[in-house]
C-alpha cells in the first residue's frame, strides 16, 4: 500500500513502557502484521493526564454520585475529572483516524468488561474505561476494538474489514461526494453489506433510490450510519453462502455443468466448515477472471482487505 491507514492505539500495545508498573504490553500481531497496513498514533491517557511511570494503579469505583477513577491502595488519588477533561479534548482531535485499538481491561482504555468496584473493594460489575467510553460516545461509527478480541479470527476479520471500508468512505467524502459517487460506492459494497446484514442491504438500496433529488450531505450521514451499523457484526457462515450463491448466479451462462457442480460443491464444503472462505472465493475469482463481469469485478466483497493478512484462510 502506498499510504497506510491511520489508527489510534493504546501506546502500551506498541511496546511503549507506559504502564503503571513501567512495563508494556507489546502485541506482536499489531506491531508486526498490522503495521504493514496501518500507521499507528499511540495514546496513553494515564500518562496524558500527567501520571508518572511507574505509578500507583487506579481502578473504577462506583459511588453514589457516579463512577470515579481512583487509586487502588489510596482512594484519595482521584483522577476522574482529569481523565474526563483529557478524553473530551483528545477524542475531539481524532477526526482523521479510521479505527482505534484499545488495551483490554484498563480502567482508562478498556472498551468493555472492565472491572467496576464497590468502595469496599468488591468487584460488582463490568463497564468501560473512561477514555474508551468518551471515544465511543464521540465517534460511535468509528471501528474500535480491543487487542484481546483481535485474537478471535471472526472479530479480527470484522474489525479490519470495517477499517478498510470506513477508510474508503472517509476518502470519498474528502474527495467530494455527489449522488453518482455515493451510488458507485454503494454498488461496490453491495455484496459485502449483504453478507453482513440482509435487512440493511435492502433498506440501504431504498435509501439511495432518490439520491439525486435529496440533500447529499444529509443523505451521506444517514448512509454512513447504516453502513457502519450493517458491518458492525461479523458475517455469519450462512450469510456468506448466500452471497456466494448470488455471485455464482452471474456465471450461470458462462460455466459448464461440471464447473457449476464443482463450484456448488466447494460452497457446500464451506457451509459445512470443511474448507475456509478463501477457497470458494478463490475459485469464484478464477471464474470471473475467465468471464469478466463489470458489476462483479468491482465488488469489495471479493477482496475487502489485502490477501496477505489471510483473514479468510481459517476455518
Ligand atoms: S492501557 Fe491505556 S492508560 Fe494503560 S498504559 Fe496502556 S495506553 Fe496507558
Beta bridge mates, 126: 115
What is the model's pLDDT at position 2? 56
Question: What whole-number distance in Å separates Cα of residue 8 and Cα of residue 38?
Answer: 10
Question: What whole-number distance in Å separates Cα of residue 220 and Cα of residue 174?
Answer: 12
Retrieve residue 243's grid coordinates: 452471497
Whether ligand 1 lies within 6 angstroms of the CB of 11 is answered as: yes
Whether ligand 1 lies within 6 angstroms of the CB of 49 is answered as: no
Q: What is the mean pLDDT of residues 70-89?
A: 97
Beta bridge mates, 114: 127
Q: Taking Cα atoms as reference points, which of 12, 43, 8 lies closest to residue 27?
A: 12
Q: Which atom of ligand 1 is nearest to the CA of 20?
A: 5
Q: What confidence tier does 315 reach under pLDDT thresholds 50, 70, 90?
A: confident
Which 3 state secondary structure label does DSSP give 247?
helix
Retrieve residue 203's grid coordinates: 433498506
What is the whole-number distance in angstroms between the Cα of residue 288 and the centre of ligand 1? 47
Whether ligand 1 lies within 6 angstroms of the CB of 103 is answered as: yes
| DSSP assignment letter at 149 | G
What is the whole-number distance in angstroms between the Cα of residue 1 and the centre of ligand 1? 29
Q: Are strands 66-71 and 58-63 parallel, antiparallel or unpaired?
A: antiparallel
Pocket test for ligand 1, best of 9, 18, 22, 87 (most atoms within 8 A of CB): 18
Residues 204-238 have pLDDT tens digits of 999 999 898 889 999 999 999 999 999 999 999 99
| DSSP assignment letter at 78 | B
Q: Which atom of ligand 1 is nearest to the CA of 108?
A: 3
What is the whole-number distance in angstroms between the Cα of residue 159 and the centre of ligand 1? 21
Question: What whole-number distance in Å separates Cα of residue 116 and Cα of residue 107?
Answer: 9
Burial 198-207 (b: 16+ CB within 10 A, else e): eebbeebeeb
37 neighbors 309 (Cβ within 8 angstroms): yes
Q: Taking Cα atoms as reference points, which of 14, 8, 303, 314 lies closest to residue 161?
A: 303
Pocket test for ligand 1, best of 103, 105, 130 (most atoms within 8 A of CB): 103
What is the whole-number distance in angstroms between the Cα of residue 108 and the centre of ligand 1? 7
What is the whole-number distance in angstroms between the Cα of residue 221 and the centre of ligand 1? 32
Sign, CA torsion 199/200/203/206: negative
Q: Out of 2-6, 214-218, 259-263, 280-284, which region has the weakest mean confidence (pLDDT)?
A: 2-6
Residue whose CA is at the smallest distance from ligand 1 atom 8 = 44
Residues 131-188 have pLDDT tens digits of 999 999 999 999 999 999 999 999 999 999 999 999 999 999 999 999 999 999 999 9
pTM for the model stands at 0.96
Mean pLDDT of the residues in the chain: 97
Whether ligand 1 lies within 6 angstroms of the CB of 109 is answered as: yes
Amino acid at each position: 500500500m502506498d499510504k497506510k491507514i491511520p489508527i489510534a492505539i493504546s501506546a502500551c500495545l506498541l511496546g511503549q513502557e507506559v504502564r503503571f508498573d513501567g512495563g508494556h504490553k507489546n502485541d506482536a500481531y499489531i506491531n508486526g502484521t498490522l503495521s504493514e497496513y496501518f500507521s499507528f498514533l499511540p495514546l496513553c491517557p494515564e500518562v496524558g493526564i500527567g501520571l508518572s511511570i511507574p505509578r500507583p494503579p487506579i481502578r473504577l469505583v462506583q459511588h453514589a454520585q457516579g463512577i470515579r477513577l481512583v487509586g487502588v491502595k489510596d482512594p484519595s488519588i482521584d483522577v476522574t475529572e482529569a481523565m474526563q477533561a483529557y478524553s473530551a479534548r483528545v477524542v475531539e482531535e481524532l477526526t482523521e483516524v479510521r479505527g482505534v485499538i484499545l488495551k483490554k481491561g484498563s480502567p482508562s482504555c478498556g472498551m468493555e468488561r472492565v472491572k467496576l468496584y464497590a468502595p469496599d473493594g468488591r468487584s460488582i460489575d463490568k463497564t468501560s474505561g473512561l477514555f474508551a467510553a468518551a471515544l465511543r460516545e464521540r465517534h460511535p461509527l468509528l471501528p474500535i476494538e480491543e487487542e484481546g478480541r483481535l485474537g478471535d479470527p471472526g472479530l479480527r476479520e470484522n474489525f479490519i474489514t470495517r477499517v478498510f471500508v470506513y477508510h474508503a468512505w472517509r476518502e470519498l467524502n474528502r474527495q467530494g461526494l455527489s449522488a453518482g459517487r455515493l451510488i458507485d460506492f454503494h454498488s461496490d459494497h453491495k455484496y459485502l453489506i449483504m453478507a453482513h446484514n440482509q435487512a440493511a442491504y435492502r433498506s440501504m438500496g431504498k435509501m439511495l433510490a432518490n439520491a439525486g433529488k435529496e440533500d447529499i450531505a444529509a443523505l451521506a450521514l444517514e448512509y454512513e450510519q447504516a453502513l457502519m451499523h450493517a458491518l458492525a457484526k461479523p458475517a455469519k457462515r450462512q450469510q456468506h453462502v448466500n452471497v456466494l450463491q448470488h455471485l455464482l448466479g452471474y456465471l450461470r451462462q458462462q460455466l459448464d455443468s461440471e464447473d457449476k457442480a464443482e463450484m456448488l460443491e466447494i460452497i457446500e464444503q464451506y457451509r459445512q466448515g470443511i474448507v475456509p472462505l478463501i477457497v470458494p472465493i478463490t475459485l469464484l475469482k478464477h471464474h470471473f477472471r475467465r468471464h469478466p463481469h463489470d458489476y462483479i469485478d468491482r465488488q469489495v466483497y471479493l477482496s475487502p482487505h489485502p490477501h496477505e493478512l489471510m483473514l479468510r484462510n481459517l476455518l
